[in-house]
């Protein structure tokens, strides 16, 4: 059994430990049930729960949330449209978000999947200094896509 200030009191029966905790106006909490004998501590359980919730809240607050933004292209996307979409992707990656770049094929465009793959490779080349590929280029039904994530060295959130 451990006291409020962290000093060890020794080994007690459950009745004796509860009695000692009751005399001090505190609660007896089992800290390590798997230990032989189990370790218990005399603490104010309400205060303990409050501090635990406070720690969890701080951990949740400090968690980094990464969103997945999608940019859609077609196999015959023009140079200006490509540059415009690339600028948006750069902004998303600098904000610390993942970017999914998709090339959508409609009807007869399915015959030109190599153009879509070339477009995605150009996109990857354009953003290679600030991002890296998380999942390689893959075909999903009528869409071909690649997922880019921020490289650790260049994102604004990390600097």
In a domain, 4, yes or no: no
pLDDT tens per residue, range 54-102: 999 988 887 776 788 999 999 888 889 999 999 999 999 988 888 999 9
Distance CA 21, CA 16 (A): 9
Spatial distance between the Cα atoms of 88 and 134, rounded to a whole number of angstroms: 18
Residue 5 belongs to a domain: no
Percentage of residues in the chain having pLDDT higher than 70:
94
Residue 50's pLDDT band, with cuts at 50, 70 and 90, is: very high
Q: Closest by alpha carbon to 98, among 59, 134, 127? A: 134
**What is the reported pLDDT for 158?**
45
Does one domain contain both 98 and 124? yes
- 107 has a pLDDT exceeding 50: yes
Dist. CA 146–CA 93, nearest whole Å: 14
Please tell me whether residues 52 and 126 are part of one structural domain.
no
Q: Are residues 43 and 26 part of one domain?
A: yes
CA distance linking residue 154 with residue 134, whole number of Å: 16
Q: Is the pLDDT of residue 9 over 70?
A: yes
Higher pLDDT pick, 158 / 15: 15
- Is pLDDT at 15 greater than 60 in this prediction? yes
The answer to whether residue 7 sits within a structural domain is no
User: Is residue 92 located within the same domain as residue 136?
Assistant: yes
Contact 149, 134 (CB under 8 A): yes
In angstroms, what is the C-alpha Rg of the chain? 29
In a domain, residue 93? The reply is: yes
Total number of domains in the chain: 2
Cβ atoms 96, 134 nearer than 8 A: no
| Nearest in space to 7 (alpha carbons), one of 20, 139, 100, 93 | 20
Residues 124 and 84 placed together within one structural domain of the fold: yes
129 and 56 within one domain: no
Model confidence at 3, in pLDDT bands (50, 70, 90)? confident
Residue 137 domain boundaries = 68-150
Is residue 8 a part of any domain in this protein? no
Upper half-sphere CA count for residue 155 (Cβ side, 13 Å) = 18
- Domain shared by 93 and 128, yes or no: yes
């Amino acid at each position: 059994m451990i006291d409020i200030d962290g000093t060890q009191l020794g080994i007690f029966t459950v009745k004796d430990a509860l009695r000692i905790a009751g005399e001090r106006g505190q609660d007896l909490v089992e800290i390590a049930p798997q230990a032989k004998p189990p370790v218990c501590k005399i603490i104010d359980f309400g205060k303990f729960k409050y501090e635990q919730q406070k720690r969890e809240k701080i951990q949740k607050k400090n968690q980094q949330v990464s969103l997945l933004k999608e940019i859609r292209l077609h196999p015959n996307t023009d140079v200006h449209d490509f540059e415009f979409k690339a600028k948006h992707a750069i902004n998303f990656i600098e904000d610390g978000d993942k970017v999914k770049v998709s090339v959508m094929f409609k009807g007869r465009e399915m015959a030109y999947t190599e153009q879509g793959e070339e477009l995605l490779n150009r996109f990857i080349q354009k953003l290679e200094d600030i991002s890296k590929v998380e999942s390689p280029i893959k075909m999903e039904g009528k869409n071909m896509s690649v997922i880019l994530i921020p490289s650790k060295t260049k994102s604004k959130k990390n600097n």
